[in-house]
Amino acid sequence: MSERFINPAVSAVPPSAIRKFFDSASTMKNAISLGVGEPDFVTPFSVRNSAIDSLLDGETQYTTNYGILPLREEISRYLSERYQAGYDPHTEVLVTVGASEAIDIALRAMLRPGDEVLIPEPCYISYQACTRFAGGVPVQVHTHAANDFELDAKDLEDCITPKSKVLILSYPNNPTGAVLPREKLEAVARVAIKHDLFVICDEIYSELAYDGFIQVSMASLPGMWERTMIISGFSKAFAMTGFRLGYMAAPQPYVVAAAKIHQYTIMCASRQSQVAAYYALKHGRETGYADVIRMRESYNQRRRLMLKAFRDMGLECFEPRGAFYMFPSIKKTGLSSEAFCEKLLQEKAVICVPGSAFGDSGEGHIRCCYATAISKLQEAFERIAAFLKTC
């Protein structure tokens, strides 16, 4: 009977492959997880304390739909100073419940039925699903291990049809850890302009790039600001996942349209989260982002450890320069990425995420997160090395 009452468009979207894996993994004892997608740092205490102060002060009411102005002003200043992209805090910045909400309402605000959304893969799991929920058609654009999973403008152009409308770009990338160097970003920008595409740029990992690499923002390139929306949030660089706080910044018409959905469905993000985020940005600015730098350096050290460990055990792996993931190839074992992860979990109690969960281009790879205590990483490396000998 339920069929009649459930939207077929929702039924058509498969449940997240990550969720499926989580159910079998979460019951394992003594398992070491490289499957997490969040920092292993607790939010810096001064940031948590700002939320506590806000509660003590009785700030328990709704905020404006767009979010508290001081936070929007800080976001605007942050984007302009760090990423050379200027936005009016009054009309061009919207505070959302995580970057996830921003992705959802951006797509819903922009897509008409049948519009095609170009999605470079492997990618974060919600782009395809949100596109479908919004009535759009996701179009896979493959990226390749041979190119360090950087999006090639030619591959993108090959996928363009008269219905192509939006490109979702996410570098540094989850799950590959890839970044997109300036010249490749510029090539993608030329394609976007030539074919009149709008670019939704998920920059949630922007602060996490290593060894001096700086991820240039698409919005800062000439001719791109008008056709770009930046989506970001506080989860990764500021270690605030549970606060669920993100934002979008774009030219006014797009923000106004998305804000309409936001005001009718969400109303506003949690006030305490907004206060904490405001403090994180303000304090960050005043201290030269010392907390972010400290965490980034710690990830970088573990990134190098993991890369060396994988290469020592003979796993093919390009050097990822962003986010906190490594995406080694397990093709030589002859197993599918899902079978590899299942077997590794059952036999050695190590949790990795099958690359196929992030799109077809991820098949033959596994996502390993290095945001975990070094002692646990070392133990996981030993177990994986032992496992590979049995494959």
Partner 1 sequence: MNGIKQQILEILDKDCRVPLEQIATMLGRDMTEVAQHIDELEKEQVILSYRPIINWDRAERQRVEAMIEVKVTPQRDFGFDAVAKRIYRFNEVKSLYLMSGGYDLLILVEAPTLKELAQFVSDRLSPLETVTGTATSFVLKRYKQDGVVFDDGGEDERLVVSP
Secondary structure (DSSP) of 313-355: TT-B-----BTTEE--B-GGGT--HHHHHHHHHHHH-EE-EEG
Among the residues of the chain, which ranges form H helices? Answer: 2-5, 8-11, 17-25, 45-56, 69-83, 98-110, 126-133, 153-158, 182-194, 252-265, 271-286, 290-312, 337-348, 374-390
What is the rounded distance in angstroms from the CA atom of residue 144 to the CA atom of residue 192?
20
Using CB under 8 A as the binding rule, whether residue 126 contacts partner 1 is answered as yes
165, 197 contact by CB (below 8 A): yes
136, 198 contact by CB (below 8 A): no
Using CB under 8 A as the binding rule, whether residue 287 contacts partner 1 is answered as no
> Which one of 81, 196, 226, 297 is in contact with partner 1 (CB under 8 A)?
297
Nearer to partner 1, 126 or 140 (CB): 126
Using CB under 8 A as the binding rule, whether residue 301 contacts partner 1 is answered as yes
List the structure tokens of 225.
């600001």
> Which one of 22, 132, 186, 261 is in contact with partner 1 (CB under 8 A)?
22
Question: Phi first, then psi: what are they for 277, rounded to 5°?
Answer: -65, -40
Nearer to partner 1, 25 or 275 (CB): 25
Using CB under 8 A as the binding rule, whether residue 18 contacts partner 1 is answered as yes
Using CB under 8 A as the binding rule, whether residue 46 contacts partner 1 is answered as no
Distances (CA, A) of 336 to 186, 192, 264, 341: 35, 34, 43, 9
What is the 3 state secondary structure string of 14-61? Answer: CCCHHHHHHHHHCCCCCCEECCCCCCCCCCCHHHHHHHHHHHHCCCCC
Letters for 164-193 (x = contact with partner 1 by CB under 8 A, - = none) are: ----------x-------------------
Using CB under 8 A as the binding rule, whether residue 347 contacts partner 1 is answered as no
| Candidate ranges 91-99, 189-197, 282-290, 297-305; the one touching partner 1 (CB under 8 A) | 297-305
Nearer to partner 1, 266 or 305 (CB): 305
> Which one of 102, 107, 258, 351 is in contact with partner 1 (CB under 8 A)?
351
Using CB under 8 A as the binding rule, whether residue 21 contacts partner 1 is answered as yes
Q: How far is the CB of 301 from partner 1 (least distance, A)?
A: 4
199's enclosing H/E stretch is: strand 198-202
Nearer to partner 1, 282 or 304 (CB): 304
The size of the interface with partner 1 (CB under 8 A), counted in residues, is 29
Q: How far is the CB of 66 from partner 1 (least distance, A)?
A: 27
Using CB under 8 A as the binding rule, whether residue 239 contacts partner 1 is answered as no
What is the rounded distance in angstroms from the CA atom of residue 123 to the CA atom of residue 206?
15
Question: Phi first, then psi: what are they for 29, rounded to 5°?
Answer: -85, 150
Using CB under 8 A as the binding rule, whether residue 313 contacts partner 1 is answered as no
Using CB under 8 A as the binding rule, whether residue 13 contacts partner 1 is answered as no
Using CB under 8 A as the binding rule, whether residue 308 contacts partner 1 is answered as yes
> Which one of 66, 78, 83, 124 is in contact with partner 1 (CB under 8 A)?
124
Using CB under 8 A as the binding rule, whether residue 26 contacts partner 1 is answered as yes
234, 98 contact by CB (below 8 A): no
Nearer to partner 1, 95 or 345 (CB): 345
Going by C-beta distance under 8 Å and a sequence separation of 6 or more, which residues neighbour residue 329?
145, 315, 316, 317, 364, 365
Q: How far is the CB of 26 from partner 1 (least distance, A)?
A: 5
User: Which residues are near partner 1 by CB under 8 A?
Assistant: 16, 18, 21-22, 25-26, 28, 31, 33, 35-38, 40, 124-126, 174, 211, 297, 301-302, 304-305, 308, 351, 353, 372, 374
